[in-house]
Structure 1
Amino acid sequence: MKIIQAIKKFSEPFVFNDGLNGKHLKNPLVLVFGNRFMLEDEHIYEEVKALFNDAHVVFGSTSGEIIDETVLDGTIVLTAIEFEKSSILVHRSNVDEHDNNDEKLGEHLMAKFPQEQIKHLFVISEGSTVNGSALIQGLEKNKHSYIGLSGGLCGDDDRFERTLVSYNESPKEGEIVAIGFYGSSLEITSANFGGWTPFGPERLITKSQGNKLYELDGKPALDLYKNYLGEKAKELPKSALLYPLSVRANDASEPLVRTILNIDNEENAMILAGDVPTGSKVQLMMSSVDDIVNGAFCAAEQAMNGRKKSPNIALLVSCIGRKLVMDQRTEEEIEEVKSVIGEDTYITGFYSYGEMAPFKGQDQCKLHNQTMTLTLFSE
């Protein structure tokens, strides 16, 4: 596996870590994570494409860019990977092509991948309108249990305006890109961990539809949430990232964390990143910097557990809510990850509106919020 990385600042060219461009790489996978405004530049795809021959270029907008142990804002980070003993296959789809039925979209996307010798599917999804849990449900519907699945919902800092994704074209809205990794030489592991603690009364979801939450204990959910936030309610949906919801369905062994993507004042409802089933029990959650840093350490330990080889590269997807809590100490969680996975492992990734990975000891992928998610690759 050959890997090179570069950083682009506003109105400047890409600067590679080894001083070279990517012309020497053969059919590389080029992951480009960046600030939404910079990805809106009409020339960004041509600029990246000019650096490589026959590349698979995947874009995703972020709420912060991760490269090595550094967290950046207002930049673009690029990681190009040449797989020497294995292969990749990339497919894309758009929410508009499936009447905004995210489960059907996921099912359609998974059907494009031959399942013989596939090891893992990494998904980079638009994050502003998609129901992430419905998307995963569609991806999982006809997926063999031995195929790993992880990824994330793209971000737009804390604006929640629009997110951009694309494969071999200019970044655009509504796109979901899936990357399939094939070959017996690959070792791929993934894990996630949060570090958030429930507090306050447990309430019952009495009215919801998909990822839209209407009532808790028979009362308007948005009103209850605004009452709790007080003055911070004026900053919704941004302020909701500091107080996510722990959602435990009756048939679930593990609670899921959900954050608010948007609010619907007309219907007095909250729109979350994934499903919030009626009959589930919810609690507010909070965290500290130390708890978040420890959560990142635990996620890295879980991803490394049982591995036969040290990872060549780590793809990190961490939640924007974690970044808001940590503020100037954000890089500490990346440093904790690096201390576990090794100094020689390349690191890239982004801060997201949602993370995709299985729970520890489980095969089926779930949508998470407020977690650090790692996917580790070696060849």
Structure 2
Amino acid sequence: MISKTVKGNSTEAIKKEIDKATSDGFEPTLAIVFTSIKQDWKAIIDVLNQKEIAVFGATTSGEFIDGDIEEGSIVMMLLDINPKHFRVLFLETGEHTTHENAKQIGIAGKNTFNNPAFIIASGWLHIDGEKIIEGIIKGFGNEVTVFGGMAGDDLAMQGPLVFTNEKSAVNGLLALIVDEDKIEINGIATCGWKPIGTTKTVTKSEGNIVYTIDDKPALDMVMKYLGLDIDLDSGNDVLTNIGAYYPLQLERENVTPVMRTAMWGNKEDRSLICAGTVPQGAKVRFSLPPDFDAIEQVIDECKEVKKERQKEADALIMFSCISRHLSFGILMTEEIEQVKQVWDAPMVGFFSYGEFGKSKTGKHEFHNNTCCVVALKEK
């Protein structure tokens, strides 16, 4: 399998890059497209439709290609996978719920291939990402391989979307179903965040809303505990100050903690609205802002995947939480470059609003503040 990466700051620029990439006889059948919502993604689809290339696309909150971070651009990976070895499936929340659609994706994978893997992207779905995982598992079974990310919209928080050749929607759920008997897929969801302070208990929560921690209003506790001065009337301040720098770590027995970003604070009831489910009774700890140690942990876990499961890769796809970019700053480039160097393969990715994948000791599940790396290799 050959993969080539291209980028551009306009539809015309990306068209020229595609023409250049295919000028040597390379005939891609699939395009992984990550684009700023400011770009004309419909025109990009038209370009790829003219070349009869299947599209797996999502809008972003920043893009990266190989070792470079982009903003407001289009990045794309072109692959010449045998069309019999993959299927792109797009479902839109409407008559059916997102959970039901996720279940249908799981069923479709089971009916299409004996050994399918799922790479997914979701739009602006007002549903916890865990429900998407649960739906796929319900349709396919427990032993499922799922990696992916939630689309972004340059932090506008108004309507990221996913798209394929003929369809696009803010409330869309997109799946690239791959035949693992033909294409080897392995990956890791990892973060490197270190816990700080004592373990605390979520004493009242409902879904992704945390009302009290140790019987105290969740928002007040976070602000006091971390010494934060937050103006609750300024929209993204809670995201950038709490979610990016001090995510919650949900502790579990014998498995890696799962991260949960505090996206908003409700000044009326003093609750925290997180980007994923935080069960009542859960044990949580706050996290220290990341440093080089966090990057080293991410790279070490990627190297472990390479050593134990997948020594070579034809292509790399990476979904990294926008909160990581906000908190890492210039260190983010270092992480992306080093991940690429582990397999030394073409890489494309974007900054997401949530990630799907399997941690070192966990199961395939929904994450925040995490980077999810997926390696593909034709057998």
Residues 67-123 of structure 1, C-alpha deviations (whole Å, 9 max, x = no match): 111111110101111114961011122233434xx4333213212221643331111
1:174 Cα deviation after fit: 1.1
Secondary structure at 2:155 match in 1: coil
Q: Which residue of 2 aligns with 1:112?
A: 108
Rounded to whole Å, the distance in 2 between the matches of 1:373 and 1:299 is 11
Aligned match of 1:369: 368
Q: In the alignment, residue 330 of structure 2 is paired with which amino acid?
A: Q
Q: Give 1:255's aligned residue.
A: 257
- State the 1:328 CA deviation: 2.3
Q: Given that residues 90 and 167 in structure 2 are in contact (C-alpha distance below 8 angstroms), is that contact kept between their aligned partners in structure 1? A: no
Which secondary structure state, in structure 2, belongs to the residue aligned with residue 230 of structure 1? coil
Gaps of 5+ in 1: none
Deviates more, 1:311-320 or 1:161-170: 161-170
CA RMSD of aligned residues (A): 2.6
Shift in alpha-carbon separation, 1:201–1:145, aligned structure 2, 3 A = closer
In the alignment, is residue 174 of structure 1 matched against residue 171 of structure 2? yes
Match of 2:247 in 1: 244
CA contact (8 A) 1:302 1:360 kept: no
Deviation at 1:143, TM superposition (A): 2.5
Residue 312 (str. 1) matches residue 310 (str. 2): no
Please name the residue that 2:222 is paired with. Answer: 225
Which residue type is aligned with residue 36 of structure 2?
Answer: N
Do the aligned partners of 1:150 and 1:358 also contact (CA within 8 Å) in 2? yes
> Is 1:7 the counterpart of 2:3 in the alignment?
no
Q: Within 2, Cα distance between the matches of 1:330 and 1:361? A: 24
Indicate the residue corresponding to 2:209 in structure 1: 212
Deviation of the 1:376 alpha carbon? 0.5
Residues 122-143 of structure 1 show CA distances to partners (whole Å, capped at 9, x for unaligned) of 1111256331112111112243
> Contact 1:311–1:377 at 8 Å: present in 2 too?
yes
> For the residues of structure 1 that align with 2:272 and 2:367, how far apart are their CA atoms?
17
User: Which residue in the other structure is 2:149 paired with?
Assistant: 152
User: Which residue is equivalent to 1:103?
Assistant: 99
**CA-to-aligned-CA distance 1:279-326 (integer Å, 9 cap, x gap):** 001111123330232133123213313245510001111111221122
Distance verdict in 2 for CA 1:155–1:274, change over 3 Å = same
Is the CA contact (8 Å cut-off) linking 1:303 and 1:375 kept in structure 2? Answer: no
Q: Given the alignment, which residue of 178, 195, 199 partners 1:198?
A: 195
Question: What is the one-letter code of the residue matched to 2:60?
Answer: T
Distance 1:156 1:24 in 2: 35
What fraction of aligned residue pairs are identical, expressed as a percent?
25
Cα separation, partners in 2 of 1:346 and 1:17, compared to 1, 3 Å: farther
Shift of 1:378: 0.6
Equivalent AA in structure 2 for residue 72 of structure 1: E
Query: What whole-Å deviation, never above 9, does each CA across 1:230-250 have from its counterpart, x for those lacking one?
Result: 32455122322111001125x
Q: Tell me how far apart the structure 2 counterparts of residues 207 and 244 of structure 1 sit (CA, whole Å).
A: 18
Query: Which residue of the partner structure matches residue 68 of structure 1?
Result: 66
Kindly provide the CA deviation profile for residues 4-42 of structure 1, in whole angstroms up to 9, marking residues without a partner as x: 322120475214278244895657121110112225x55
Consecutive unaligned residues in structure 2, runs of 5 or more: none
Structure 2 match to 1:37: 38
Scaled by the length of structure 2, the TM-score of the pair is: 0.88
Q: CA 1:123 to 1:174, structure 2 compared with 1: closer, same or farther past 3 Å?
A: same
Amino acid at match of 1:231: D
Choose the corresponding residue for 1:82, options 72, 80, 83.
80
Which shifted more, 4-13 or 316-325? 4-13
Q: Do the aligned partners of 2:117 and 2:180 also contact (CA within 8 Å) in 1?
A: no
Cα 1:248–1:329 change in 2 (3 A) is closer
Q: Deviations over 1:244-284 (max 9, x none)?
A: 001125x6733211012334444433222211000001111
AA partner of residue 288 (structure 2): M
Task: Work out whether residues 194 and 292 of structure 1, in 8 Å CA contact, stay in contact via their aligned partners in 2.
Answer: yes
- Given that 1:312 and 1:376 are in contact with CA atoms closer than 8 Å, whether structure 2 keeps it comes out as yes
Q: What secondary structure does 1:139 align onto?
A: helix
The aligned length equals: 370
**Alpha-carbon distance between aligned partners in 1 of 2:120 and 2:170, rounded to the nearest angstrom:** 15
* Contact 2:11/2:43 (8 A) holds in 1: no
TM-score normalised to the size of structure 1? 0.88
For 1:300 and 1:287, the matched residues in 2 are separated by 21
Q: Check the 8 A contact 1:71/1:331 in 2, yes or no.
A: yes
How far does residue 43 in structure 1 lie from its aligned partner after superposition? 3.1
Aligned position for 1:289: 291
Q: How far apart are the structure 1 equivalents of 2:246 and 2:113?
A: 43
Asked if 2 retains the 8 angstrom alpha-carbon contact of 1:119 and 1:182, the reply is: yes
Do the aligned residues in 2 keep the contact of 1:79 with 1:348 (CA within 8 Å)? yes
Read off the aligned partner of 1:287 and give its amino acid letter: P
Alignment pair present for 1:301 and 2:298? no
1:279 is aligned to 281
Q: Does the C-alpha gap of structure 1 residues 265 and 45 become closer, same or farther in structure 2, counting only changes over 3 Å?
A: farther
